[in-house]
Structure 1
Amino acid sequence: MTEPVNLARKLSLFQDHWSPRIIAGFNGHDVMVVKAEGEFVWHSHPDTDDFFLVLKGDLTIELRDSEVKLGPGDLYIVPKGVEHRPVAHGEVHLLLIEPHGTPNTGDEATAAKKVPV
């Protein structure tokens, strides 16, 4: 990486919701930004934790027995194997970090294709 990454500029390059865009790599992990709106699907990641950092907006991470409310600057990590569903109230911008190749739904067959931006 020879230049800094401007998150706002990267987020301005696309409009799709729930389609993570890879902005950098870090020790075998994808650093991504994503725009979210509405409900995502219930899912879990059997082998990895799920990292969420809210950059803009309000996000609720629903768990089967509780929920976690996040606003700008809030970070939450869903432990591996825990079923969850992110719900974006209006448009939400997120920074995500996952091991390279991790499907965003926990299932390769239903996952969004992650592309660099």
Structure 2
Amino acid sequence: MVKYYCNLDEERLIAMVDENKYNLNMDIKYDYLEVIKVPEIIENCKEKWFNQTLCKVNSSVLRLGIFEGEFHMHKHDNDDEVFYVLDGELLIESEKGSFKLAKNEGICIPKGTMHRPIANTKTIVLMIENEGIKPIGD
């Protein structure tokens, strides 16, 4: 169950999402000119739904998702979102239809579109989003 609150900082808002169901790390893990070590993050991940911001690119961020299970239905009013599957398989359910993504496939979800990612097995995903996006939705 997702609870939405107004005027709370993003950290507090994320903590209110289903009490630890998702591990959403908004801190930027790698600085400019620092090698991004995705296999190391994957190896150390024990959570079923994990998200780590890897780096900032202009006003966007590159995030790594390690997913197993279902995220809740949500939308981003002012932000597009890209999902690109590195390993596994990701189903994106949306108000515009369902999209099954295999390894090396991706999709761009337009702002304002209700959607939810589902991973029936462990799936590794790269995401590109605006830096200020709320992963749990608006």
Q: Does 1:44 align with 2:75?
A: yes
- Which of 110, 115, 126 aligns to 1:95? It is 126
Q: Does 1:25 align with 2:50?
A: no
Q: How much does 1:65 deviate? A: 4.7
Which structure is higher in helix share? 2
Q: For 1:43 and 1:88, locate their aligned partners in 2 and report how far apart those are by CA, in whole Å.
A: 16
* Length-normalised TM-score, structure 2: 0.71
Q: How much does 1:75 deviate? A: 1.0
Tell me the residue number matched to 1:5.
Answer: 36
- Preserved CA contact (<8 Å) 1:17 1:34: no
- 1:5-60 superposed Cα distances (whole Å, 9 cap, x missing partner): 23222322322233310111100212110111111100001001111000110111
Q: Does 1:84 align with 2:115?
A: yes
Uncovered stretches (5+) of structure 1, i.e. residues with no partner:
108-117
Uncovered stretches (5+) of structure 2, i.e. residues with no partner:
1-31
Tell me the residue number matched to 2:22.
Answer: none
- Preserved CA contact (<8 Å) 1:29 1:97: yes
Q: Tell me which stretches of 4 or more aligned residues in structure 1 moved more than 3 Å.
A: none
Letter in 1 for 2:114: E
Identity over aligned pairs, percent: 30
Tell me the residue number matched to 1:53.
Answer: 84
SS in structure 1 at match of 2:68: strand
- Preserved CA contact (<8 Å) 1:61 1:84: yes
RCO (CA 8 Å, sep 6+): is it higher in 1 or 2?
1
- Preserved CA contact (<8 Å) 1:60 1:88: yes
SS in structure 1 at match of 2:41: helix
Which structure is higher in strand share? 1
Q: For 1:14 and 1:101, locate their aligned partners in 2 and report how far apart those are by CA, in whole Å.
A: 24
- Preserved CA contact (<8 Å) 1:55 1:95: yes
